[in-house]
Structure 1
Amino acid sequence: MISLPRTIPGIAVVVMLAILVACTEGSESPTTADELHERAQSALGRSGTAQDHQRALELLDEALRIDSNHVPSLRSQVRLLVRAGRDREALGRARRLAEVSGQASDQLYRCMLIERVERENPVPLSCYHDVVERYETPETPQIERDLNYLVALKLADSPRLSDQLEQHKARSAASKEDPNWLTDWIANSSRKEIVDQFTRIGSPAEQQ
């Protein structure tokens, strides 16, 4: 407890108390990108209003000012921009995310955003081919190759899709880990349905 001399005028007391409060608040404010990202997620968990989304985007901007390569903040920012209908902004951030994370799933999401935003242009098959190659490297874990890999094959118009679908169904039946209905949906849906669905809600791996 800080005791204030009685000789200090009332207005000075108010000013000093304001300074003390400001110092206390400042010491509790987030100082890392991780903390700001957590606050953004909390903001989204409230009522999901437009104001909550805007506040979350502001917090993510702050996080990225602290660490421009913070992958969780970049990923959340891309998803929020898509939800807000700001697809071209999202595409720019998705390019950055794919560069920073180096993950095939982020590159796949970027390809789908390109196809969604630039519908008047030819389908970016070469983008999907690059994703397939990433998934087929020995360094890519089998668990990551599952549904995202199937989507990449589908959107790359790969002739290997049918064989991989059957293999995936066999693994799913044995492990009971992945729902076969999603595998069937990937096989039977149009590319527009897949692109629109997964750019709206996230990559297949995020739905498990």
Structure 2
Amino acid sequence: MDDYGVDENYVVKIVAGVIIGLLLLFLVVPLAANMIATQNVANAANGALAELNSMDSSLPSTTGNVLPTVNQTKPAQINGNTTVNNTNNNSKNNNPVPEEKTAPSTDGMTILSGTITTGSSLSSKTVCTIYVGAEYAGAEIKMSTLYSRDGTDLNAGRLVAKTVDSSGYVTLPSADSYKLYPDECLISIYDAKGNQLDYRIVYLETESGTQSF
């Protein structure tokens, strides 16, 4: 009986030792694993820091390579508030607005003299030229010539816009040719607004050529 009791205690001790060993194993192994993982993380961090330090040392120095600043010139100021752009002012001064020219006045214009020329062929037109004076050069007027033969009108005598030339003459050819030589011509001149300035009745020889009045 005593031997059996001794054997039972021995078995109990062995079992207890095994249990304690297992407990220690379960406790020590995770703790050791954590310590190893922590050490690995620390080593990795130290390696990365060392690599960064080596990269910083390999970068070229920026001393002396700073980009120069641009010196911007402000436009001139007038009275402390108004700015003036000299470039724009110069361009405006170089392109002045042209002055509008006005036509000379027609006040006092009259028919001083003139000529009427008739061609010899049936296709020839009759040309009337009047002289109003060089002082009216460039003046804008309206002119009509009404030709007739034996009291019968040969044309309609329409108004035509004309400009006095530099010598003071105005020339107006007939719109059509006439089958008969005219024996009379009514010449009328008006200003640009249609107000009559003067008229002249010219009696003609019924033949070709130039006749003065």
User: What range describes the TM-score normalised by the shorter chain of this pair?
Assistant: under 0.3
TM-score by length of 1: 0.22
Q: Which is strand-richer, 1 or 2?
A: 2
User: Higher helix proportion, which one?
Assistant: 1
| TM-score between both structures, scaled by the size of structure 2 | 0.22
Which has more radius of gyration? 2
| Higher RCO (CA 8 Å, separation ≥ 6 residues) | 2
